[in-house]
Amino acid sequence: MTDQSYNFAYLDEQTKRMIRRAILKGLAIPGYQVPFASREMPMPYGWGTGGVQVSAAVLTPEDTMKVIDQGADDTTNAVSIRKFFERTAGVDTTTATSEASVIQTRHRIPEEPLHEDQILVYQVPIPEPLRFLEPRETETRKMHALEEYGLMHVKLYEDISRHGHIATSYAYPVKVEGRYVMDPSPIPKFDNPKMEMPAIQLFGAGREQRIYALPPWTKVVSLDFDDHPFEASKADHCCALCGANDSYLDEVITDDAGGRMFICSDTDYCEGRRAAGHRGPLNAEAAE
């Protein structure tokens, strides 16, 4: 039930128009960070204020929404954002990836491939990939304008000289359509190859007041070197619950004596596999 005290999807219409114009510019210039007048939202910065504003601007009453936090549908952040839109937009919500038309995500791309009619909205903490290399916005603007991305390669090179390989494992920088270097938000680099997809991807950074976007099938290349090619890495285990070898895994500490297990970070994917009868090492013993 929509709470009638609020406009549809919480934001007022002029704010939505401003965000919508920024989204269209973002889609027209893939990977470029469009400044927008981010509003205060009824949640703290860092909890997805950018993603929520983008979602509010794209939602229609007929949409079915899914919200994930690190792949999970049942964490505080995901539950509260889902409830927020149930209340202010009256949209249906789901945890099933295939049933959702708008998916707001914090730091994961669902394991199940997305299709054409879906929209993936990322919550972004720091949209500027060069920020930790150059703190001044005036400078990073110029660097993007001049395509001056040497510093990013130096960072990756320093990784190699220090660790023997590129140790950056999340928020791994990508180059979009051969032009802009973009921060894919802190998704694990395991997810980077999935970014060339049939769905529309929108990125919202509330505190930093930036929106950027990737139209479907946009060419997204993870930065690397000829002799150190990009590798989409994950923990070298299978999921303890569903036995999946192809999904991104979370490490769970089980005791204080070094015990640990690995489980799918995407809870919907893991539940779907278990419902289909797949069992991992932990469940296999329990089932017998």
Partner 1 sequence: MAAVLEGGFKDAPRDASHAFRGLMTAMARPGTCVDVAGAVPPAPLSVAAGVVLLTLCDPDTPVYLAGAFDCDDVRTWLAFHTGAPISTAQTCAFALGSWDDLNPLEAYPVGTAQYPDRSATLIVERQSLVPSGVTLTGPGIERQAALNLPDPAALAANHRLFPLGLDFIFTAGSQVAALPRSTRIG
Q: Which residues are catalytic?
A: 31, 239, 242, 264, 270
Nearer to partner 1, 88 or 185 (CB): 88
Inter-residue contact 190 to 104 (CB < 8 Å): no
**Nearest distance from residue 158's CB to partner 1, in Å?**
27
**Rounded least distance, CB 176 to partner 1, Å:** 8
The single residue among 156, 200, 238, 241 that binds partner 1, judged by CB under 8 A, is: 200
Q: What is the largest CA-CA distance in the chain?
A: 63
DSSP letters along the chain, please? ---TTSBTTBS-HHHHHHHHHHHHHHHHSTT--EE--PPP-SS-TTSSHHHHHHHHHH--TT-EEEEEETTBSSSHHHHHHHHHHHHHT--EE-S-GGG-SEEEEES---SSPP-TT-EEEEE-S---TTTTT---HHHHHHHHHTT--HHHHHHHHHHHHHHSS----BS--EEETTTEEE---S-BGGGGGGGS-SSEEEEEETTTTEEEEE-TT--EEE--BTTB-------SS--TTT--SSS-EEEEE-SSSS-EEEEES-HHHHHHHHHTT---HHHHHHH-
Which residues in the 39-78 window bind partner 1 by CB under 8 A? 57-61
Nearer to partner 1, 122 or 262 (CB): 122
Q: Is 156 in the site for partner 1 (CB under 8 A)?
A: no
Tokens coding 281:
């090492």
Can you tell me which of 13, 99, 246, 251 binds partner 1, judged by CB under 8 A?
A: 13
Phi, psi of 213 (to 5 degrees): -150, 155
Regarding 253 and contact with partner 1 (CB under 8 A), the answer is: no
87 lies in the binding site for partner 1 (CB under 8 A): no
Tell whether residue 17 is a contact of partner 1 (CB under 8 A): yes
Of 16-24, 43-51, 104-112, 123-131, the segment contacting partner 1 by CB under 8 A is: 16-24
Taking the complex as a whole, how short is the minimal distance between the CB of residue 145 and partner 1, in angstroms? 4
Which of 113, 198, 231, 235 is close enough to bind partner 1 by CB under 8 A?
198
Among the residue ranges 32-40, 64-72, 162-170, 234-242, the one whose residues contact partner 1 (CB under 8 A): 32-40
Under the binding rule (CB under 8 A), the answer on residue 217 touching partner 1 is yes
Asked if 205 is part of the footprint of partner 1 (rule: CB under 8 A), the reply reads: no
Contact 109, 172 (CB under 8 A): no
Among 18, 65, 121, 244, binds partner 1 (CB under 8 A): 18
16 part of the interface to partner 1, by CB under 8 A: yes
Q: Give the residue, chosen from 35, 42, 46, 113, that forms a contact with partner 1 under the rule CB under 8 A.
A: 35
Scanning 120-128, 157-165, 177-185, 272-280 for contacts with partner 1 by CB under 8 A, the matching segment is: 177-185
| CB contact at 8 A, 37 and 209 | yes
Give me the residues that bind partner 1 (CB under 8 A), please: 7-9, 13-14, 16-18, 20-30, 32, 34-35, 57-61, 141-142, 144-146, 177, 179-180, 198, 200, 213-219
